[in-house]
Structure 1
């Protein structure tokens, strides 16, 4: 078992609080992604789990054993860094074998594990090359193979695809997910790329200003954001937000009347751009910009003085300057508390 429990972990750098008190449980064999903007604390949390950073308080447990007092080598973890850290003076074989040599395994065992890891990453034909002879994608594969070869209980990955070009990143995402499912390794993966997070994760923990604001499966985070921040961070383009005026059982949003949420507090209306249909009873705005997106077009409008976006099929001709009415699809409207920013269910 390689479940992970983070209990009350916090981190201060002098007077600056990088991590507020955090609690997070990661199941055995789960692929969890820590997602957030730069500076939100996701890499700091990963380094605390790895033992590369000391927490200011709290506990880390792996497989039921408390490890926050142990050095990294005794935690049963392997880590893949953003810059890969592939040794240039070693062949691919020796790079992958490095951790195994440190464990003083027999040569036959080392060779078996290296070949198995290289086969998983489809680099078995590169074992005698040096890193200078490899592309960025190949070096990334070497770094992952080296981590998997030691058969860690937990694999920690810090933005491992960020140095790759867009097409290679797309290819590696799909391949990496399949490999880690096959290896059945508990994984914590750090990224600021929401598409990467949505495509890879069993579960996403969204971080903001040193706090975990939502931890849930990717589909739930997308469809039911727990806070306004999550709704505005997840999605490309992100959610639209408009002020709402509530009177009894009804709410008015830019002239459109809707059933009000069950709360007496001020609320804000929210909806995703793809959940709007042209025509019918809806929100009306003046079109500012139309951006072709292959089978769709991204339309930016002014709705009551607020920027509002909609994804519209190409069979509907839209021109800048015209008025466009957009009707929310059934069940697509979300509401957020104005003061706390929490979702109102």
Structure 2
């Protein structure tokens, strides 16, 4: 069992607080992604779990054992870094075997593990090459194989695909997900790339300002963001937001349109994802400003209530800059946020 429990963990660098009282439980064999913009604290949290940083307060437990006082080598973890960290003077075989030899495993066991993980990562034909002869994608496969060969309880991955080109990143994402699921390890993966997070994770912890804003499944954080920040960060393009006020009819007035909404509250914010809008006879009065054909869909940036508002429409619908149209929100996809706290309402 490799359940990870983070209890009230904070990290301060002088007067700057990088992490604020983090509480998070990651289940055995779960793939957890820490997602957020640069500086949000995700890498600091990963380094505390790894033992590369000491928390200013709080506890870290792995597999029922408190480890925040232990050095990295005693925590049962392996790490994969953004810069691969493979040794250029060693062959692929020697790179994968490095940690196993440090543990003084028998040569037969070393050979078996290296060959098994190399096959998993489809690099068995590269075992006699030096890392300087490899492409970036091949070096990343070596780094993952080296981590898997250690048969760790936990694998920690810090933006491991960010140095790869878009097509290779897509290929590696699918491969990583399958390999790590079969390895039955608990994985914590740090990224700022929401597509990586959505495609890989069992759960996503969205971080902002040193805090976890929401920890939930990819579908949940996308469809039911717990805070305005989550809605604005997840999605490309992100959610649209418009101020909402009580109307005379007891509904919510949003850019001149009456919309049914929560019973409580006085000043809320209406939110809708761009793909949850359709062109209809009734809806928000919109003026198209920018039209971007995207193949199957067209992204229209329009002006609604004096604000920019995006809609993802079917490409068969012909829209040109300057066109006046009505954008109707799908009622079951509308979300509401408190304008003061930024938290979900209703």
Same fold (TM over 0.5): yes
SS at match of 1:331: helix
Equivalent runs, 1:113-124 vs 2, <5 Å? 113-124=113-124
Give the TM-score taking structure 1 as reference length: 0.99
The CA RMSD measured in Å over matched residues stands at 0.7
Instruction: Name the structure 1 match of 2:302.
Output: 301
Equivalent runs, 1:1-345 vs 2, <5 Å? 1-247=1-247, 249-345=250-346
SS at match of 2:332: coil
Q: For 2:81 and 2:306, how far apart are their aligned partners in 1? A: 45
Q: For 2:74 and 2:206, how far apart are their aligned partners in 1? A: 29
Q: For 2:83 and 2:210, how far apart are their aligned partners in 1? A: 24
Q: For 2:93 and 2:105, how far apart are their aligned partners in 1? A: 15
Q: For 1:179 and 1:249, how far apart are their aligned partners in 2? A: 54
Give the TM-score taking structure 2 as reference length: 0.99
Q: For 2:264 and 2:102, how far apart are their aligned partners in 1? A: 60
Equivalent residues of 1:249, 1:260 under 8 A apart: no
Pairwise CA distance, 1:208: 0.2
User: Which ranges of 4 or more aligned residues in structure 1 deviate by more than 2 Å?
Assistant: none
SS at match of 2:10: strand
SS at match of 1:327: strand
* Larger deviation, residues 276-285 vs 104-113: 276-285
Structure 1: gaps (5+ residues): none
Pairwise CA distance, 1:214: 0.1
Count of aligned pairs between the two proteins: 345
Pairwise CA distance, 1:33: 0.1
Equivalent residues of 1:269, 1:336 under 8 A apart: yes
Equivalent residues of 2:246, 2:266 under 8 A apart: no
Pairwise CA distance, 1:280: 2.7
Q: For 1:259 and 1:295, how far apart are their aligned partners in 2? A: 31
SS at match of 2:104: coil
CA deviation digits over 1:7-42, x for unaligned, max 9? 000000000000000000000000000000000000
CA deviation digits over 1:125-168, x for unaligned, max 9? 00000001000000000000000000000000000000000000
Equivalent residues of 2:297, 2:315 under 8 A apart: yes
Q: For 2:9 and 2:245, how far apart are their aligned partners in 1? A: 40
